[in-house]
Amino acid sequence: MDVTLSGLRVLREIAERGTFTAAAGALGYTQSAVSRQVAALERGAGSTLFERRPGGIRLTPAGQSLLRHAAVVLDEMDAAERELLGRAPEAGAVRLGMFPIAGLIVARSLAALRHAHPGIEVTTREGSTPALARALRAGVLDLAVLSSRPPYHPPDEELPALHVVTLAEGTLLIAVPAGSRLAAQDAVEAEELADQPWIASPSGRGEPALGVWPGLPGRPRIAHTAKDWLTKLQLVAAGCGITTVPSNLAAVMPAGIRMIAVAGLPAESRRTLLARLPGPHSSSVALLARALREEAGHLPGS
Amino acid sequence: MDVTLSGLRVLREIAERGTFTAAAGALGYTQSAVSRQVAALERGAGSTLFERRPGGIRLTPAGQSLLRHAAVVLDEMDAAERELLGRAPEAGAVRLGMFPIAGLIVARSLAALRHAHPGIEVTTREGSTPALARALRAGVLDLAVLSSRPPYHPPDEELPALHVVTLAEGTLLIAVPAGSRLAAQDAVEAEELADQPWIASPSGRGEPALGVWPGLPGRPRIAHTAKDWLTKLQLVAAGCGITTVPSNLAAVMPAGIRMIAVAGLPAESRRTLLARLPGPHSSSVALLARALREEAGHLPGS
DNA sequence: TGCTATGTATGCTCAAGTCGCATGGGCTCA
DNA sequence: TGAGCCCATGCGACTTGAGCATACATAGCA
């Protein structure tokens, strides 16, 4: 077997990003270089590592197998680098991923954890649920806080299944400007939403637009799209439109915004999940997981 | 840090062999290639990894640090290769080194271990005591059976010190042809040995010749040199000369040979040691170590 | 004090690897 | 059917890495 460290880095990055092209961007390569690295890697490993499918790749069993070892190898190389540079071994560091709006529960949990166990280092990263699931499988994350909607499928369809616990359950609400007509009510009828300007998140291929109430009749009028939640809420406060928010976010809602429920349509449930790879995990990971579960229990609406 | 897998392999091989040149031979490279690999490795690591000293090299602290990680990385790569080739993960395999004449105790221990724990795979390798000590430090061996002579210094001077236990204690004897004049006695006076033809092992730089009784007056007459013990003993049986043997070897002495003691000089003690790196070790390693200790207790003369 | 043996470093050359650029083919979705 | 996304590949420039030959440094020995 003739495999290079660059090849393993490319493998891990592809597993995390889901496409050659995205991995190339993340690594500062061109797509062509990644394609060649993959070819060399598969030649060296003697088997096909990726299933090329439109819209991205999947790891073959051989690819998953090599990925597990690659994660160990690259982690060890990182540890070697830290040690040679004289830094602390950072043995207790836990890598946590979260979907963009999970910052509240994560921030509170980290504060509690730092108070109870000051020695544990936690680094965090944002990402979408599929990206976080891939990062878990690539060994780049130890834990991930994900969002899930009915019918609550597992975060991905790979095997072995991720180990998942529910941190919190909540519903979807609507954020409206505090002074608007809608804000005067506790709940708004679905019909009233039909011609409202919506503030949506840029959606991926074929997925329903996030930020727009699902199941509305007709085509929603999307006035603005923004990825950042603070931006979206500022737009709402400025009266530029309305958007959906998880009920868990009530505690951090800025001034000028009111959250109201929707009547006339079935309630939209949302779960906040904590996921990790099955198998053994370090005590630091367990402590952070417990802190997240405990903090979630204190949140309103759970 | 920019380090290649080849560089790590070279590092491990040098740590095991003790010189660039020997590592080059073992890896199928030229010495020049190894020298360049080392230069690249040190440039990539950003620090000097080897102390060049005449007669060989020593690892600097940075080199030792990188070696530890390299051992993990390369073992993981080996595991990946085995897994990709469909072989069993070989999780319980223990790598045992031994000095050339330890075969007796090792063979019996392996038989006992196989009987009690059939699942444990053990691979063995021969080597001199310094070579085995280096191999332990390079992470290439899990355990090593070494020989030690007074004043029983540790096997090497590196830090951290190897973990060492004494398996057996014995003395040095003389192997003589069964029909010879010397064989008639139970012990031979040192003066009688002075002009005997000796069968020695090829000795390294500056070290005393093995196989010749130490401390004899004058210059010994070395009639033959041989590395292999069976060869040496055949030479003795054929009357070509005499040689020293550890008392532990009595049980496997071939016909035509008699072992006698030396009078008139202080007894030459020899210890058989079991060494491993300090720190945690797998249960398979512990089981093999226990089997070796138990078998050593059954040997005569211990 | 030279001479030799052992071991490492380096200039030179060539082959192989690696990258970016540009392009082509395959697939999905609108 | 066309646009968009994704991967594969031919081409050229550059870098890397290996062997060969040789120079340099040190220890042991006559």
Judged against a pLDDT cut of 60, whether residue A205 lies above it is answered with no
Check residue B211 and give its pLDDT. 76
Question: Please, which pLDDT band fits residue B22 given cuts at 50, 70 and 90?
Answer: confident
Query: Pick from B173, B153, B168: which is nearest to B271 by CA?
Result: B168
Q: How far is the CA of A25 from the C1' of C22 (A)?
A: 18
**Runs of H (alpha helix) within chain A:** 5-17, 20-27, 31-45, 61-84, 103-116, 129-137, 190-193, 229-237, 283-298
List the B3 CA – C10 C1' distance (angstroms). Answer: 21
Residue B241 CA to residue B238 CA, distance in Å, equals 8
> What percent of chain B lies above the pLDDT cut of 90?
4
Name residue, tokens 């952070």. A288
Q: Is A81 on the interface with B (CB under 8 A)?
A: yes
pLDDT at B170: 83
Q: Chain B contact for A180, CB < 8 A?
A: no
Q: CB-CB: which of A45, A70, A84 is closest to B65?
A: A84
B268-285 pLDDT per residue, tens: 788 888 989 888 888 888
Peptide bond into B217 cis (omega under 30): no
Of A23, A53, A26, nearest in space to A38 by CA: A23
CA at A173, C1' at C19: how many angstroms apart?
50
Please give the pLDDT value at position B206: 46
Is the pLDDT score of B204 beyond 60? no
Average pLDDT over residues B95-99: 85
Q: Given this model, what pLDDT does residue A73 score?
A: 93
Which positions in chain A touch B1 (Cβ < 8 Å)?
Answer: 77, 80-81, 84-85
Higher pLDDT, B144 or B90: B144
Q: What is the reported pTM?
A: 0.79
Q: What is the pLDDT of residues B245-265, one digit of tens each?
A: 888 777 777 777 888 888 877
Contact call for B77 and A73, based on CB within 8 A = yes
| Average pLDDT for A200-206 | 62
Cα separation, A288 vs A113, whole angstroms: 7
If you average pLDDT over every residue of chain B, what do you get?
80
Other CB atoms within 10 A of residue B228 CB: 10
pLDDT beyond 70 at B300: no
Is residue B21's pLDDT more than 90?
no
Protein footprint on strand D: which nucleotides are under 7 Å from a CB?
4-10, 17-22, 25-29
- Higher local confidence (pLDDT), A72 or A197: A72
For chain A, say whether B257 makes contact (Cβ under 8 Å). Answer: no
CB contacts, 8 Å: B79 with chain A: 69
Strand partners, A274: A145, A165
Distance B160 CA to C4 C1' (A): 37
At residue A223, the pLDDT reads 67
Please indicate whether, in this complex, the C-beta atoms of B80 and A62 are within 8 angstroms of each other. no
The verdict on a CB contact (< 8 Å) between A83 and B65 is yes
Q: Which one of A3, A66, A84 has the shortest CB-CB distance to B45?
A: A84
The closest nt to B30, taking CA to C1', is D19
- The Cα of A5 is separated from the nearest Cα of chain B by a number of Å equal to 6
In this prediction, residues B104-114 reach a mean pLDDT of 81
pLDDT in tens, A238-289: 777 788 888 877 777 777 888 888 887 777 888 888 999 888 888 888 888 8
Using the beta-carbon criterion (under 8 Å), do B46 and A84 form an inter-chain contact? Answer: yes
Overall average pLDDT of the A54-65 stretch: 84
Answer with the residue of higher pLDDT: B104 or B38. Answer: B38
Contact of B3 with chain A, judged by CB distance below 8 Å, is answered with yes
- Whose CA is closest to B243, among B271, B264, B222? B222
